[in-house]
A and B are shown apart, each in its own frame.
Chain A
Amino acid sequence: GAGVSQTPSNKVTEKGKYVELRCDPISGHTALYWYRQSLGQGPEFLIYFQGTGAADDSGLPNDRFFAVRPEGSVSTLKIQRTERGDSAVYLCASSLGATTGELFFGEGSRLTVL
């Protein structure tokens, strides 16, 4: 497919468990972003990658959240010791550049922490 792909589309887990969410960006897009969207809210910036490195992780809420992009393509968002407040839709986007390029979003991964 040509778009941003996110897996899983839905994830239900128990409080305290570890979760990984995967994002496969559009081929050739060097910039990758993670956002979080809670019910009734707009997306909230989490982290941004330019290539393999996290250029800006200022949006990560705490040290339970971590993201990697080891080869500059696929990215994984990792959440440790999940809490009920982590329940949200996690959105991934990619763009050709990090300045004024259009963001292309995936459909999101809906995380529910019971």
Chain B
Amino acid sequence: AQSVTQPDIHITVSEGASLELRCNYSYGATPYLFWYVQSPGQGLQLLLKYFSGDTLVQGIKGFEAEFKRSQSSFNLRKPSVHWSDAAEYFCAVAPGAGNNRKLIWGLGTSLAVNP
């Protein structure tokens, strides 16, 4: 069965520091991969997605993610974190085209940013 693992439940970084949030997936074929952010009082917002092609994907708000098939990973990165980045981050996988609806989600990583 497909699954998504986000090993870090909670991460704290200082403002201006770099960030990497880990995501590992279990799926037999090449999955469709997503990162969403959930801020307090707001709905989930798509940061970026990977379907095919270039394995380094650029997203909104200065985020990027790299798909590594050999490691079954899709880690999210940002070179310099801003206080407004404090939120819950979810990695999700869709088992192929046409299955956008049946996203399988990780448990999320809560990011705190120290001033």
Contact = CB atoms under 8 A, between A and B. Distances in A.
B97 A100 contact: yes
Interface string B31-46: 0100010000111111
Contacts of A105: 36, 43-45
B108 A56 contact: no
Nearest to A95: B100
Contacts of A91: 43-44
A65 interface: no
Find the residue from B44, B101, B108 having the highest chain A CB count within 10 A.
B101
Nearest to B108: A42
B41 A103 contact: no
Contact of A99 (B43, B90, B92, B100): B100
Contacts of A43: 44, 90, 103, 105
A28 interface: no
A48 to B, nearest CB: 4
Interface size range on B against A? 20 to 34
Nearest to B46: A102
B96 to A, nearest CB: 9
B43 A33 contact: no
A106 interface: yes
Given A107-B42, A107-B43, A108-B43, A45 B107 contact: no
Interface in B72-109: 90, 92, 97-98, 100-103, 105-108
Contacts of B42: 107
B101 A56 contact: yes
Given A105-B43, A105-B45, A42 B100 contact: no
- Shortest Cβ-Cβ A-B pairs, 8 listed: A42-B105, A105-B43, A48-B101, A105-B44, A107-B43, A102-B46, A106-B43, A99-B98
